Amino acid sequence: MVHDPNGKDCRLVGDILARVGDKWSMLVVMTLLEAPLHFNELKRAIRGVSQQMLSRNLRALERDGLVERTVHVGVPVRVEYALSDLGRSLAGPVQALGAWAARARPAIEASRTAFDREHDAQ
Amino acid sequence: MVHDPNGKDCRLVGDILARVGDKWSMLVVMTLLEAPLHFNELKRAIRGVSQQMLSRNLRALERDGLVERTVHVGVPVRVEYALSDLGRSLAGPVQALGAWAARARPAIEASRTAFDREHDAQ
DNA sequence: CGGCATCCGGAGGGATACTG
DNA sequence: CAGTATCCCTCCGGATGCCG
């Protein structure tokens, strides 16, 4: 069977996987799964993320309908980010992957060190 | 709750997610799930991948113990790539994510066009 | 407080050519 | 057949600074 990443069906799946794979998106989703947050709360909750990247990620997630953005007018302005139903439905599969990663971690680390030893000694 | 991508526990989970998210790795895994293949068979099966990237991905997957590489000596040389048990165990979560993507696709595409319309018209 | 604009370095990914 | 080596280029991600 031939797999074509540009085939119409696989196209958006690849998109999703890329989204899931990028450095911050799933961290955002997992954080918002616990509770809706304001921008800077989110920034503090996700240690190490820059404003830039957080902003970009939130935009992208909002565009895809995974995150809902609500502006509360006032002084100062407050913007609340919350997962949509679609976003919440993503949490299951992602957590499954996370659980797999946790289980597989020892095996992967062992395999890596073994592989590296063989190749460094060469 | 604070999420730190550099916290020891989250570190490798992030690694895994990044691996899952890159352009070819999961395509390789899904292809090998059907049957073990030789290098060029794999290259033909995954439309559009370069030798370079396929080679790199296979190395990385082998290093992590997800793929097993077997050299069959002879003329010409044949190298067979197959999923390890660990690799096969990854297929479940990945397929779950794929299924989610397939289900979510219409909603996501609709959300994107709506979002883009609002912002282009501005 | 919640962003966007700009600049920058480095990694990711591709084309091509060459080797065992 | 199964790669490695080289070159190149884009885009991700971070730092900084400015604006409503």
What angle do the packed helices A85-121 and B8-21 form, to 10 degrees?
A: 100
Closest CA to A28 of B12, B21, A36: A36
Cβ of B50 < 7 Å from strand C? yes
Q: Looking at the partner chain, which of A48, A63, A101 has a beta carbon nearest the beta carbon of B115? A: A63
Residue keyed to tokens 């302005």: A77
Q: Looking at the partner chain, which of A2, A45, A105 has a beta carbon nearest the beta carbon of B2? A: A45
Percent pLDDT > 70 in chain A is 94
What domains lie within chain A, and their CATH numbers? 8-120 (1.10.10.10)
Cα separation, A33 vs A68, whole angstroms: 12
Closest CA to B107 of B119, B97, B115: B115
What pLDDT score was predicted for residue B70? 96
Amino acid at A11: R
Cβ of A59 < 7 Å from strand D? no
Position B8 confidence tier, pLDDT thresholds 50, 70, 90: low
Q: Is the pLDDT of residue A11 over 80?
A: no
Q: What is the pLDDT of residues B53-106, one digit of tens each?
A: 999 999 999 999 999 999 999 888 999 999 999 999 999 999 999 999 999 999
Q: Is the pLDDT of residue A40 over 80?
A: yes
Closest CA to B62 of A118, A39, A87: A118
Position B120 confidence tier, pLDDT thresholds 50, 70, 90: low
Residue keyed to tokens 């007018």: A73
Q: Is the pLDDT of residue B122 over 50?
A: no
DSSP annotation of B4 reads -
Q: The tokens of A76 are what? A: 């100062």
Position B114 confidence tier, pLDDT thresholds 50, 70, 90: very high
What pLDDT score was predicted for residue A86? 96
In three-state secondary structure terms, A78 is: strand
Q: Tell me phi and psi for residue A13, to 5 degrees.
A: -60, -45
What pLDDT score was predicted for residue A122? 47
What pLDDT score was predicted for residue A103? 92
Which residues pair with residue A80 across a beta bridge? Answer: A38, A70
CB B97 within 8 A of CB A26: no
Cβ of B23 < 7 Å from strand C? yes
Burial B66-83 (b: 16+ CB within 10 A, else e): bbbeeeeeeeeeeeebeb
Q: What is the pLDDT of residues A93-108, one digit of tens each?
A: 999 999 999 999 999 9
What does pTM read for this prediction? 0.91
